[in-house]
Amino acid sequence: MTLLSADTVVCDAERAVSDGAVVVEDDRIAAVGDREELLDAYPDHEQVTCDVLAPGLVGAHIHSVQSLGRGIADDEELLDWLFDHVLPMEADMDAAEMRAAADLGYLELVESGTTTAIDHLSVAHADQAFEAAGDAGVRALMGKVLMDKDSPDGLQEDTDAALAETERLIQRYDGARGGRIRYAVTPRFAVSCTEACLRGCRELADEYGVRVHTHASENRGEIEAVEADTGYRNVHWLDEVGLTGEDVVLAHCVWTDETEREVLAETGTHVTHCPSSNMKLASGVAPIRDYLDRGVNVALGNDGPPCNNTLDAFTEMRQASLLGKVEELDPTALPARTVFEMATRNGATAAGFDDVGELREGWRADVVGLSTDNARSTPIHDPYSHLAFAAHGDDVTLTMVDGEVLYRDGEHVRMDAESVRERAREFAARL
């Protein structure tokens, strides 16, 4: 039983309370409101004070297992970056390296205020990342990557084997760790997957009631390859094989035409915008204002450490807003509150966690606390402006998932940060 209090409690994109508090009982939020009133009502709760409290951030597209490749290919476009650098790295990684990479990814997420992630793993050793996420205590929707076409040695799999391994992992991990871990079927992207594989992904998602998460229309070379192969534009192809809908989350969607955007909106497909990755890989600018105007649910993601190079979700809010303003030549295109909502509630909606992403009575107690004890955080005229444009993951002083403190005042509760970093450095040197 904890009473968290702060100068500002940002509950959701509409409501922020000055001198507020959040009462946490077990894994839920029991009350949100005025600090003095809640102190009177819950005098025996342990008190924790922060400067700002907000919902834990949702990283709706990351690759924890790419963490050892931070900085390996900073100046490449997607397909060279992927086929010449990132896929060879993934193909070469053994189980211990996969675990070390995932641990590093989750360490970074926890200490920078991300409480929920949608994590696209690799082909092999997915168990390592499921255990890493589970041990880290984060909420995650994650899956083993399927690649059964035109893929490098070490990653290319037989279609049936890829689907069978996916089914084994669904049975083992969907709903694990008290429900914090959920499974998503994660074909890599249409370039690397046969039609049979993509249709098989839909069948598994239907059979087990799990989500599908893949990359789509990130880069022009990618959509040209898909069209040459299938005769369809990428989103139409995914729609054709059953991979659109309310249980599908597509990362990127930079290069979509009018008809594809209609499909996204009509089918209720979720989009994860990854602005830093899209800029760094020179992929292009996703039409986010247009998606939102059509009613598409758009979340935010950092993508992998080799194309960002951080998992700090605060950075992504900033990049999303600035890029949207430039794209539309309109300073109101993606304001602070909008990107805040994308980084919290919209991400939870995409991931299928219905009571996550806002500080609301009865909802899950996934909370971050920030310090404002630095020049960059002074003054704060508007808490949304602060969170979107000035705050950094470094400011985080409290990370809580399901009412459990995972990080507080620079200390990880579950993870040994020094040994995670040490192992990551050791393994990265070999790769």
CA–CA gap between residue 274 and residue 284 (Å, rounded) = 11
Classified as helix, coil or strand, 299 is strand
Q: Shortest gap between Cβ of 382 and ligand GUN (angstroms)?
A: 32
Which residue is associated with the tokens 């100068």?
7
User: What is the residue type of 404?
Assistant: E
Determine if 318 is a binding residue for ligand GUN (CB under 6 A): no
Determine if 102 is a binding residue for ligand GUN (CB under 6 A): no
Determine if 303 is a binding residue for Fe ion (CB under 5 A): yes
Determine if 189 is a binding residue for ligand GUN (CB under 6 A): yes
Binding-site partner at residue 218 among ligand GUN, Fe ion, none, CB < 5 to 8 Å by type: ligand GUN
Which span sits near Fe ion by CB under 5 A: 42-50, 303-311, 337-345, 361-369?
A: 303-311
CA–CA gap between residue 300 and residue 251 (Å, rounded) = 9
Determine if 138 is a binding residue for ligand GUN (CB under 6 A): no
Per-residue binder mask for ligand GUN (CB under 6 A), 274-303, x = binder: ---x-------------------------x
Which residue is associated with the tokens 């500002």?
8
Determine if 215 is a binding residue for ligand GUN (CB under 6 A): yes
Q: Shortest gap between Cβ of 221 and Fe ion (angstroms)?
A: 15
Determine if 82 is a binding residue for ligand GUN (CB under 6 A): yes
CA–CA gap between residue 427 and residue 73 (Å, rounded) = 17
Q: What is the DSSP string of 349-364?
A: HHHT-TT-SS--TTSB
Determine if 148 is a binding residue for ligand GUN (CB under 6 A): no
Per-residue binder mask for ligand GUN (CB under 6 A), 62-81, x = binder: -x--------------x---
- The single-letter DSSP state of residue 56 is P
CA–CA gap between residue 217 and residue 227 (Å, rounded) = 11
Site for Fe ion in 108-127 (CB under 5 A): none
Site for ligand GUN in 217-256 (CB under 6 A): 218
- The single-letter DSSP state of residue 333 is S
CB contact burial 145-162 (16+ within 10 A = b; e otherwise): bbbbbebbeebebebeeb
Residues of the shown chain interacting with Fe ion in the complex, contacts defined by CB under 5 A:
303
